[in-house]
Structure 1
């Protein structure tokens, strides 16, 4: 089975959705989870998104 459409949602973004995460400062990771931090909407990476959701539920 073909996987031609995998990642098609981020192909139109700058650098295919890759950049530096403002939370963990890692570079060249997919930053595609939009959250509000200190009143500003920013895009963060998947591990930081999971960490923020886990700490918010406690």
Structure 2
């Protein structure tokens, strides 16, 4: 059975939830997974990088 509202929430995000992943530098990829840095800031990453080591998340500047 088809789900007519699947992905509807993506349309409300800027650029439909897509951008460049700060960890792997993949372009035009969905950034839907939040990762928290030690200073409390949150960065959005791609699905592959959502399971990355915390050291890679900490290495992100800004």
Q: Sort the TM-score into its range (normalised by shorter chain).
A: 0.7 to 0.9
| Match in the other structure for 1:3 | 3
Number of residue-to-residue matches in the alignment: 53
Which segments of 5 or more consecutive residues in structure 1 lack a partner in the other structure? 54-58
Higher strand share: 1
| Match in the other structure for 1:37 | 37
- Runs of 4 or more, structure 1, over 3 Å off, are none
Q: TM-score, with normalisation over the residues of structure 2?
A: 0.71
Which segments of 5 or more consecutive residues in structure 2 lack a partner in the other structure? 55-62
C-alpha separation between the residues in 2 aligned to 1:5 and 1:50?
27
